[in-house]
A and B are shown apart, each in its own frame.
Chain A
């Protein structure tokens, strides 16, 4: 291989990387807009709950038991912890330690599944129903919608893990992983608001 050929290939790689970055920037903007739209969706339900609660003469409605805040606090920490493990996974990918990246990704998926299990346990033990009261309707709609997002996030992370195993991403081109990390952090943050609304306020 001549020096001229090597120089030409290097130039080609630089051009491909620059093109990738430009496309990734547009994708990132699109993904952030998606997160904002999701935020609007949650906000509409959250404000509906605040309005209903404010307008209710008695809260919680008669015959409704409020959920257990202690269990929810542990469940919240499981979800927040998964946000931390996801961040570690991403940092390890950036630093080229792929084995550690996979371990943190698996930890994130396991913690996400644990959170959903905790939610499922709570659904079967809470003294409220979806159709029985405004509290029950708001609680099951909002936490159910959030749980669905967590479930989709787990699928998302499994797909990403599979893609890294089959070599879809490299050290310079990994937009999917960035999107996965942002999505998972977003799901964590939505839970901060839901935890405050249903278990603290």
Chain B
């Protein structure tokens, strides 16, 4: 397997995984939206940030953002 095709596979895995995990995170935040309690509030905040992380991974893997895109990889 060449380096380019390996990178393509990695990007594919990252995009599919990020969509899946991001949707799970958003669903859980939505599910716990009205649940009271400090632990739930902190958990919601952290899950929302994790969903943001998934968006960053998707944008990076699709080449929208990132130093690799700027460098022309």
- Interface residues of chain A, those whose CB is within 8 Å of chain B, are 25, 28-29, 32, 35, 66, 69-71, 73-74, 76-78, 80-81, 83-84, 87, 178, 181-182, 185-186, 188-189, 191-192, 195-196, 199-201
Q: Is the interface of B mostly helix, strand, loop or mixed?
A: helix
**Interface residue ranges of B46-73 to A (CB < 8 Å):** 46-47, 49-50, 52-54, 56-57, 59-61, 65-68
- Tell me whether A70 and B39 are in contact in the complex, defined as CB-CB below 8 angstroms, given that A185-B46, A188-B46, A189-B50 are known contacts: no
Which B residues lie within 8 Å of A81 (CB)? 17, 20-21
The reply to whether B46 and A69 form a contact with Cβ atoms under 8 Å apart is: no
Measured in the bound complex, the distance between the Cα atoms of B20 and A82 in whole Å is: 12
User: In the complex, what's the smallest C-beta–C-beta distance from A195 to chain B, in angstroms?
Assistant: 7
Closest-by-CB residue of B relative to A198 is: B67
User: In the complex, what's the smallest C-beta–C-beta distance from B67 to chain A, in angstroms?
Assistant: 6
- Tell me whether A66 and B67 are in contact in the complex, defined as CB-CB below 8 angstroms, given that A76-B53, A200-B56 are known contacts: yes
The reply to whether B67 and A77 form a contact with Cβ atoms under 8 Å apart is: no
- Tell me whether A84 and B21 are in contact in the complex, defined as CB-CB below 8 angstroms, given that A192-B53, A195-B56, A200-B56 are known contacts: yes
